[in-house]
Amino acid sequence: MQVVGPETGLVAAPGHSAWLARLSLSQFRCYAHAQIETDGRPVVLTGPNGAGKTNLLEAISFLAPGRGLRRARLSEIDRRGAGLNESVPAVNGAAMNGMGNGAWAVAATMMAPEGPRELGTGREPVAEGAVPEANRERRVVKIDGTFARSQQKLGEILSMTWLTPQMDGLFRESASGRRRFLDRLVYGFDAAHAGRVAAYEQSLRERARLLKAATRTGGAEAAWLDALEESMAGHGIAIAAARRDLVSRLARACEARVGGFPVAGLVLTGEVDRWLDDRAALHAEESLREMLAGARRRDAETGGSAIGPHRSDLAVRHLDRDMAAADCSTGEQKALLISIVLAHARLIALHRGATPLLLLDEVAAHLDQTRRDALYDEILALGAQAWLTGTDAEVFAALGDAAQFLSVREATIAAAPPSRNAPGHLS
């Protein structure tokens, strides 16, 4: 199999997949402890509702920077309920933050083109005797046995994309969801993006807080505001530039149709984004800094900032139907999302020389047969380790031996034989 690059026509060598060979979880939602070994094929997880399939994908999503695919609070993830205090054996480094304290942990062996890497992450337990409020929740990351300074490091090692049922409303709901989706797609090209977004958002919040306080006390702390706006301008334009770069690559990659999936048209909209059409980045930074400084009074009243990359949006169109994604049917919107994620995966494979992990929660069941086959064909052609979930194993039958089947039941994961009538048309 070969992967033909949509952008350049280059051919990426096959077998450059990055995949998880081992995954272990402890105290992670419904799992007291679980361990899976995989062989690099796509993984199909089937089981009834509430079995623990999405939880497993969520655990994997913490091997990327950020808040995971549910955007949950870290302490929400700690396993609750019966048997919580039973002692759990520490296995293979899952106990990176000390077992028995109730804090969750995830560990994995990732196979990368350059060799295996040991990844671990978990909630840092609150220090004994500390006032809980005084402790902000923190997630720690370990790479090859050493604590990493930031989660960003994970993005340098591994790229991953996910689609969940919660994302079905992405095109209809607020722009913040689309920005987050877009920013995650950028991580695969530019691991520093995660850190930039965090720094920008922190300065944005801090500036709003300061402006609000200044309306009460009458005196604005000008030097502090200057510094925050400087940070917002620098990070803000870097964010806009990285998004812009990704959107233009992705828009081109989306032109190559995958199976029966619609061709998505992508445009980044927003004022600072437009500046970059005809202004150098430094000039745009200067403009943003000046506009922020000039808008202090107004922003103090509104409690936000009227300009910046936190106002941008990703506009998506269904090009075949010449229609805004938000106006398309639910099924068409889902197909558009898949089409974008697959185009992104092809780009990442070319750019990084390694495929991203694809976490596709409850995706296959909602596709018709043609699109489902196209999805499976594309995953196999990419050589990506996709993690697919569903209640019904039959839906995945076409994958046959090309995938590894696991059944999940009441937080217990077991090998399952591939569905009985596998036609094997993909092998």
Ligand X SMILES: Nc1ncnc2c1ncn2[C@@H]1O[C@H](COP(=O)(O)OP(=O)(O)O)[C@@H](O)[C@H]1O
Residues that bind ligand X (CB under 6 A): 29-30, 47, 49-55, 77-81
The site partner of 51 among Mg ion, ligand X, none (C-beta below 5 to 8 Å per kind) is ligand X
Q: How far is the CB of 379 from ligand X (least distance, A)?
A: 20
Closer to ligand X at the Cβ: 166 or 202?
166
> Does residue number 54 form part of the binding site for Mg ion (CB under 5 A)?
yes
The tokens for 245 are 């770069």
Closer to ligand X at the Cβ: 336 or 388?
388
Nearest Cα to 24, choosing from 107, 143, 80? 107
> Does residue number 61 form part of the binding site for Mg ion (CB under 5 A)?
no
Closer to Mg ion at the Cβ: 54 or 159?
54
Closer to ligand X at the Cβ: 32 or 426?
32
Q: How far is the CB of 90 from Mg ion (least distance, A)?
A: 28
Tell me how many residues contact Mg ion (CB under 5 A).
2
Task: Give residues 329-358 in contact with Mg ion (rule: CB under 5 A).
Answer: none
Closer to Mg ion at the Cβ: 165 or 294?
165
Closer to ligand X at the Cβ: 42 or 47?
47
Q: How far is the CB of 377 from Mg ion (least distance, A)?
A: 25
Contacts of 9 (CB under 8 A, 6+ apart): none
The site partner of 6 among ligand X, Mg ion, none (C-beta below 5 to 8 Å per kind) is none
Tally of CB atoms within 10 A around 417: 9
Q: How far is the CB of 55 from ligand X (least distance, A)?
A: 3
The tokens for 32 are 């007291």
CA distance 409 to 92: 23
Q: How far is the CB of 411 from Mg ion (least distance, A)?
A: 13
Closer to ligand X at the Cβ: 38 or 46?
46
Closer to ligand X at the Cβ: 69 or 233?
69
Strand segments, DSSP code E, in 164-255 are none
Q: Are 376 and 32 in contact (CB under 8 A)?
A: no
The site partner of 81 among Mg ion, ligand X, none (C-beta below 5 to 8 Å per kind) is ligand X
Window contacting Mg ion (CB under 5 A); options: 49-57, 68-76, 239-247, 320-328:
49-57
Strand segments, DSSP code E, in 198-334 are 264-269, 313-318, 323-324
Window contacting Mg ion (CB under 5 A); options: 47-55, 69-77, 113-121, 142-150:
47-55
Q: How far is the CB of 77 from ligand X (least distance, A)?
A: 6
The site partner of 77 among Mg ion, ligand X, none (C-beta below 5 to 8 Å per kind) is ligand X
3-state DSSP call for residue 335? helix
Q: How far is the CB of 414 from Mg ion (least distance, A)?
A: 18
Helix 222-254 vs helix 281-294: crossing angle, to nearest 10 = 130
SS (HEC) of 14-33: CCCECEEEEEEEEEECCEEE
> Does residue number 55 form part of the binding site for Mg ion (CB under 5 A)?
no
The site partner of 80 among ligand X, Mg ion, none (C-beta below 5 to 8 Å per kind) is ligand X
Q: How far is the CB of 47 from ligand X (least distance, A)?
A: 6
The site partner of 65 among ligand X, Mg ion, none (C-beta below 5 to 8 Å per kind) is none
Strands lying side by side in the sheet with 105-112: 31-37, 19-28, 105-112, 115-123, 139-143, 146-147
Q: Are 159 and 186 in contact (CB under 8 A)?
A: no
Long-range contacts of 366-373 (CB under 8 A, 24+ apart): 366/331, 366/334, 367/334, 367/335, 367/338, 368/260, 370/259, 370/260, 371/259, 371/260, 371/261, 371/335, 371/338, 372/398, 373/259, 373/398, 373/425, 373/426
Strand segments, DSSP code E, in 48-180 are 105-112, 115-123, 139-143, 146-147, 160-163
Strands lying side by side in the sheet with 412-415: 160-163, 357-360, 386-390, 43-46, 404-409, 412-415
The one-letter amino acid code at 261 reads F
Closer to ligand X at the Cβ: 57 or 403?
57
Closer to ligand X at the Cβ: 58 or 299?
58
CA distance 3 to 348: 11
The tokens for 200 are 């920008």
Q: How far is the CB of 209 from ligand X (least distance, A)?
A: 32
Q: How far is the CB of 407 from ligand X (least distance, A)?
A: 11
The site partner of 49 among ligand X, Mg ion, none (C-beta below 5 to 8 Å per kind) is ligand X
Q: Are 206 and 228 in contact (CB under 8 A)?
A: yes
Positions that interact with Mg ion (CB under 5 A) = 53-54
